[in-house]
Structure 1
Amino acid sequence: MGFTPHGKHLIAGEWVAGDATFTSEPAQGPAHQFSIGTVDLVDHACEAAEDAFWTYGYTTRAERAAFLDAIADEIEARAEAITEIGTQETGLPAARLNGERGRTTGQLRLFADHIRKGDYLDRRHDAALPDRQPAPRPDIRLMERPIGPVAVFGASNFPLAFSTAGGDTAAALAAGCPVVVKGHSAHPGTGEIVAEAIKAAIEKTGMPMGVFSLVQGGKRDVGTALVQHPRIKAVGFTGSLAGGRALFDLCARRDEPIPFFGELGSVNPMFMLPKAVRARADELGAGWAGSLVLGAGQFCTNPGIAVAIDGPDTDRFIAATKAALEKIGGQIMLTEGIARAYRDGKDRFESRNSVTPVYTTESAGREASPNLYETTAQAYLQDHALGEEVFGPLGLIVRVSSVDEMAQLAKGFEGQLTATIHMDAADLEDARKLRPILERKAGRVLVNGFPTGVEVVDSMVHGGPFPASTNFGATSVGTMSIRRFLRPVSYQNFPTELLPADLQN
C-alpha cells in the first residue's frame, strides 16, 4: 500500500517537526528523514503527561480497557503498512513481523481483559473495631493506584512487542499511567505508524491527548532528560547492560529516585543431564542450533550456553549441533552496530586460549553467521568474559566432569532471564539438585524446551536477578507486569461516598 513516514514526533496529540534530522538506515528499501529529539520536546511531552494524569489516572477500568482495545484495533487496521516499513527497517521477515504484531495487539487486549476483572487492584478491607481494647481499630481499606507518567525506551530487537505500543506501554496505560516513549532509531518509521494508531485510539475514545507521546531519535542528552524529568515516576527499558546500567544510575541519582525496570539480557544457560543426552543427543543438538540462530540470535532469551558432562554422548551432542549450524547461512541483523558488536564478541572468544573453536564462520557487513565454541568449567569460572552475552548466533559448550560440578558451575552464573534443564525420567534426582540453584538464578526455569519464545500469559516471568534485569521482583511480560506501575494506598475512616469507586463495594 506504500507508507512514507513524515518523520515527526508525536507530542500530546500534535505531530511536531524539529530543526535537525537523522536518516534511517534500513536493511532494504528507501531511507527516510526523521526529526531528532530534543530536551525541550521531552519537557513538553512530560508536562503534557502530568496534565493528562489528572484525568487519565482517574478513568474507570472499563474506559481504559476500551482504549487499549482501540489501540489494538488501530494497529491491525495498519497491518500491511506496519509490516512493510518494519521489514524494510529491520530486515526481519514478514512472517516474523506479522507474528510480532499479533503478540502486540494480543497483549493490549490481554491487559484490557485483565483490568476489567479488577483482581490486580488487590483490594483489602479491615473493618473498624470500635470496641477493641485497649484501643479501637479504625476502618482501613487498601487499593493499588497508578504512580503517574512513565517513560518507555523502545527496544532494537522488537520493533513492535517491546517498543512504541509494546508490553511496557500496554502495562502502564492499563494501570492508568500516561506514557512518553523514546523511540529507537533502528526502526523510527515503524514507531511512527504505531504512534499514529495510538493517536487514532486516543481520539476515538476521548482520552486526553497528553496520555501518549513519542520522541524520535536524539542523543544521550534526550534519554538523560527523560529519565531525570521530575514528572516521570518510573522507567521501562529493554536493551544492553551498559545502556541500561547508565540509565539505572541516573534514576537512582535523581533528587526523587524512581524505579528503573530494565531488562538487560542474559546468556540463558541450558543444563544437559546425562540420560537425556545419551538418549537424544542428535535431537538436542539440532534443537539447540535452531534456537540459537532464530532471528539471527537477536533474542534476549537466546540460549547461548550449554553445560554438559564430558564424554562420548556430549561429543555426539556437539557434532549434531555443529552439523545443524553448518546448514545455516548468514542472516541480516537489526543494525550495523549490532552486527559489529557480534563480530567483536566472536573476536573475544577467538582471543582466549581456554576456548576451543568447534565451528567458526566469518561475518561481514550487516550479516551474521553462526559460531560455536567449547571450554571447561574451570576455564569458564576463571574468565568472567565468557559469561557475557554475545547478541547473535554464537554458542558455547561448557564441559563438566559430573553433575556435582554442573551444580557448582550453576552457582557461579550471574542472574539470568531463563535457565533450562534437559532431562529424561532417569535424570530426576540430578534435576532435583539443580532446581533450587536455578530458581535462584533465573526468572523462568524450563524443562525440555528452548527459551526463545515468551508466552504472554498471567503466569509468565520475563525478568530475573541482576544483570538479567534491574528489579528481580518484576516481569516485563505477562499481566503481572502491571504491578510495576502501581502503588498501594490505604484509606482510613473514609466515608463511602469519598472512596474511589472501585473500593466502595
Structure 2
Amino acid sequence: MSTLQSFNARTGEAHGAALAPSTEQDIDRAATDAHAAFGDWARSSGEQRAALLRALADGLEAEREQLVACADLETALGPVRLNGELDRTTFQLRRFADIAQRGVPFESLDDPAVAGGPPAGHPAMVRQRMPLGPVAMFAASNFPFAFSVLGGDTASALAAGCPVVVKAHPGHPVLSQQVFAIIQGVLKAQGLPAGLIGLVQGAGVEVGVGLIRHPLIAAGAFTGSTRGGAALQAEANARPRPIPFYGELGSINPLIALPAALAAKGAELATTLAGSITLGCGQFCTNPGLLVLVDGPETEAFIPQLVEALARQQPHPMLTAGMRKAFDAGIKGFMDAGARSLLQGQGVAPAPGPQLLQVSAQRFIERHELREEVFGPSSLIVRCASLAEVNAVLAAVGGSLTVTVWGADEDTADNRAIVRSATQIAGRVLFAGVPTGVAVTAAQQHGGPWPSSTAPMTTSVGDAALERFLRPVCLQDAPAWLLARGGVPC
C-alpha cells in the first residue's frame, strides 16, 4: 500500500514520521465492530444520540487550539477560516443532536384501516423508518472539520441511528487522528462501543475500495471529485448486494450576470465575485467556476472590472501539491480547448495566482473539456450572443450544485426561461450573493443532477441529510406493543 505522510501545506515538507496505512485486517475489524454496534445504536433513544453528538461537539471545542494549529499546518487554510469551520462543525453536531432529541428519526405516518374491499378499503398501516446500518464516510480535503471525520455526514448518520467508519483524507492525516482520539475518549466516557465510530486511512485507492466493498457496510457517503466518486459508486453498485452511495462530486456552479444587474452595480459585483472565486484558494465545491455573460455594453464594462478585482487577490497555497498540479493542468486544458486567458495572476510560490479565461458560448457547448471542474482560484467566462444562448449553455452543463442568477428581478418570459433552465440543472438556485458558503438549515439542498452528485434527490448539508440513512418500512396490522414503541426500532 502507498505510504501515508503528513505534509506542511505551505512548504511541502514532510511533517512527522510516515503513518501506517490501514490493512485489509484493519478495514475488516472496523466494519465488523461497526456492525456489532449497529443493533443497540439503531434502538437508541433520541436523547442518547443527542448526548453523544453534543459531547463530540464539546470535545472539539475543548481541543480547539491544538486542532486548529494542526489543521492550519496540514491545509494552509489559516486560523481564522479554520476556527470558523470548527464552529460550523460543532453547530452541525448540536443541530443533529436537537433533531434526534425531537424524535425526527422516529417519525411515522399512521394510515388507519378503512373498512370494505379494495381499492378504497385497506388494512391498518404505519410507515416508519429504519437505520440502514454501518456507513462508510469518505472525508473531504477542503473542509478538514466540517466535511471530515466529525463532519455533516458523520453527524447525520449517527443521528439516524447508524454507526460510521470514516475513511480519513490523506491531506490531513494527523488532524484526523487527533479528532479520532477525541471520539474514542467520548465513546469510552459514555460507555458506548468503540466500534460505533471507526477510522481507516491510506493514501492510495486500496483502503477506500476495500471499505466500500466490505459486506457489512450498508451505505457510502462521499465528498470529492467526480472521478473518485464515480469509481466508488461503481464499486458500490458492483457488490453482490449493491448499497446506496451518496456522492457530492465536482461542480462548476454557473453564475449568470444579466445586463440589468451589471448596469446597476457592476463594479460592486466584480469585487464580490473576485472574492468568491479566490475564497479558500478556490477550493470550494461551490466555487463559481463558470461566468455566463450576455454580449453588450454592460458586459464590456464589467469584464475589465472583474479582471482588476481578481488581480488584487492573493490566494494562499493549495491544500496539496497534487491539487496544485491538477489546477495548472486544468487551466492548460481550457486553453488547449480554445479558451483565451484574460488574467494569469502570479502567485507567491507555492500559491497559485488567480486565473480568468474567456470562451464563446458555441465553443463551450462544442467542447466537453470546457465543462470540467478546475479546482482552484479560477473562472471561465462564457460569452453569449443572446439570452437563448444562456439557456443552451446551462443545458450543456447538465448538472451543478448551484446556479446563480443576477438580474432576474422582473417577471418576464426571458427571466422565466432562465430560471427554468437553472432549476433543471441545479440543487440550489441563488438570486443574490455568491454560491460559496452553504448554510446548515432545514431548507438547504446541497446536491444536484450528475455530475454534481450521485443522488440528486438527497442533500449532504442541512437537516434533510438525515434522510439518506433511513429506509422506509410499512408495518401492516402491527401489534399494539410494536406501535407503542413510537417508531423506535426493536
Looking at structure 2, the residues matched to 427 and 189 of structure 1 have their Cα atoms a distance apart, in angstroms, of: 53
Asked whether the 8 Å contact 1:272–1:421 carries over to 2, the reply is: yes
The verdict on how the C-alpha distance between 1:180 and 1:500 changes in structure 2, with shifts beyond 3 A counting, is farther
Alignment of 1:106-505 (within 5 A): 106-129=91-114, 131-133=115-117, 137-352=122-337, 354-362=338-346, 366-423=350-407, 425-426=409-410, 429-499=413-483, 501-503=485-487
Unaligned runs of 5+ residues in structure 2 are none
Number of residue pairs aligned between Structure 1 and Structure 2: 484
2:87 equivalent to 1:96? no
The alpha-carbon deviation at position 346 of structure 1 amounts to 1.3
Deviates more, 1:209-218 or 1:184-193: 209-218
2:4 equivalent to 1:22? yes
Looking at structure 1, the residues matched to 449 and 456 of structure 2 have their Cα atoms a distance apart, in angstroms, of: 5
Looking at structure 2, the residues matched to 320 and 118 of structure 1 have their Cα atoms a distance apart, in angstroms, of: 51
Give the letter aligned to residue 137 of structure 2.
V
The verdict on how the C-alpha distance between 1:139 and 1:220 changes in structure 2, with shifts beyond 3 A counting, is same
The alpha-carbon deviation at position 39 of structure 1 amounts to 1.3
Give the letter aligned to residue 167 of structure 1.
G
| CA deviations over 1:266-307 (Å, ceiling 9, x no partner) | 010011111111222211211111100000000000001111
Looking at structure 2, the residues matched to 429 and 276 of structure 1 have their Cα atoms a distance apart, in angstroms, of: 17
The verdict on how the C-alpha distance between 1:321 and 1:143 changes in structure 2, with shifts beyond 3 A counting, is same
Looking at structure 2, the residues matched to 345 and 503 of structure 1 have their Cα atoms a distance apart, in angstroms, of: 50
Looking at structure 1, the residues matched to 272 and 118 of structure 2 have their Cα atoms a distance apart, in angstroms, of: 67
Looking at structure 1, the residues matched to 273 and 20 of structure 2 have their Cα atoms a distance apart, in angstroms, of: 42
The verdict on how the C-alpha distance between 1:155 and 1:500 changes in structure 2, with shifts beyond 3 A counting, is farther
The alpha-carbon deviation at position 123 of structure 1 amounts to 0.6
The alpha-carbon deviation at position 500 of structure 1 amounts to 6.3
SS in 1 for 2:312: coil
* Identity score, percent: 42
Looking at structure 2, the residues matched to 140 and 246 of structure 1 have their Cα atoms a distance apart, in angstroms, of: 40
Looking at structure 2, the residues matched to 446 and 122 of structure 1 have their Cα atoms a distance apart, in angstroms, of: 31
Looking at structure 2, the residues matched to 45 and 500 of structure 1 have their Cα atoms a distance apart, in angstroms, of: 34
| CA deviations over 1:232-285 (Å, ceiling 9, x no partner) | 010000111111111010001000001111111201001111111122221121
TM-score between the two structures when normalised by the length of structure 2:
0.95
Runs of 4+ in 1 over 6 A off after TM superposition: none
The alpha-carbon deviation at position 119 of structure 1 amounts to 3.5
Asked whether the 8 Å contact 1:421–1:431 carries over to 2, the reply is: no
Give the letter aligned to residue 206 of structure 1.
G
Deviates more, 1:318-327 or 1:117-126: 117-126
Looking at structure 2, the residues matched to 257 and 275 of structure 1 have their Cα atoms a distance apart, in angstroms, of: 49
